[in-house]
Amino acid sequence: MTVATAPLTGAALKAALPALARLRMEVFREWPYLYDGSYTYERDYIANFSVADGAIVVAARDGDRIVGAATAAPMGGHADEFAAPFLAAGHDITKIFYLGESVLLRAYRGRGLGVAFFEAREAHARTLGGFEHAAFCAVVRPATHPLRPEGYVPLDGFWRKRGYQPVPELVGSFSWLDIGEAQETTKPMQYWMKAL
């Protein structure tokens, strides 16, 4: 399989949103997110992000099919919940480029596409100018969670190789419905940062 990545903005970004919504639903059902999402929610969520100035989607394509994607935009272009921990800690969010999801179908993992996603988003932030840091967040699940797969290796090492470090005082929380549950629950989200 030959897979190519490309940054998408403007009309090309908007055209990729339905594929991104489907990828989010499929990939985030896996550990550690266990997300039981709906296409309607996903479509509306990413539509809001897509209109932010400076927004980008990096798409991975196998032929014409989008098999992975990563998003990013200036922190101010994301939902207020993402910025809240930064504001509470005294950070200037106008200088933070926020990396949203990286979602990639299982069959395409381990080929360097995750690295390409990070490099393309960071390059976009540098092209826009004015950003001092890139940041993202990841869900924190207990090691004893009953749905944790045997032999699961977290992505911490991968993120550290990209130059990111967790920031202890930057912990947010988000609610969503886990697979197999009847009600949404709130999960802690650890933020990671890197100087650009």
* Local confidence pLDDT in tens for the 196 residues of the chain: 589 999 999 999 999 999 999 999 999 999 999 999 988 889 888 888 888 899 999 999 999 999 999 999 999 877 788 899 999 999 999 999 999 999 999 999 999 999 999 999 999 999 999 999 999 999 999 999 999 999 999 999 999 999 999 999 999 999 999 999 999 999 999 999 999 9
Tokens, residue 187: 């999960």
* Residue 191 and residue 171 in contact, taking contact as beta carbons nearer than 8 Å: yes
| pLDDT (0 to 100) of residue 123 | 98
| pLDDT (0 to 100) of residue 95 | 96
Please state, in angstroms and rounded to a whole number, the distance separating the CA atoms of residues 2 and 61: 8
| pLDDT (0 to 100) of residue 32 | 97
| pLDDT (0 to 100) of residue 47 | 84
| pLDDT (0 to 100) of residue 1 | 59
Please state, in angstroms and rounded to a whole number, the distance separating the CA atoms of residues 175 and 181: 13
Residue 41 dihedral angles phi and psi, to the nearest 5°: -60, -45
HEC letters along the chain: CCEEEEEECHHHHHHHHHHHHHHHHHHCCCCCCCECCCHHHHHHHHHHHHCCCCCEEEEEEECCEEEEEEEEEEHHHCCHHHHHHHHHCCCCHHHEEEEEEEEECHHHCCCCHHHHHHHHHHHHHHHHCCCCEEEEEEECCCCCCCCCCCCCCCCHHHHHHCCCEEEEEEEEEEEECECCCCCCEEEEEEEEEEEC
Please state, in angstroms and rounded to a whole number, the distance separating the CA atoms of residues 57 and 75: 15
Tokens, residue 26: 């499929």
The architecture CATH gives domain 3-195:
3-Layer(aba) Sandwich (3.40)
| pLDDT (0 to 100) of residue 72 | 96
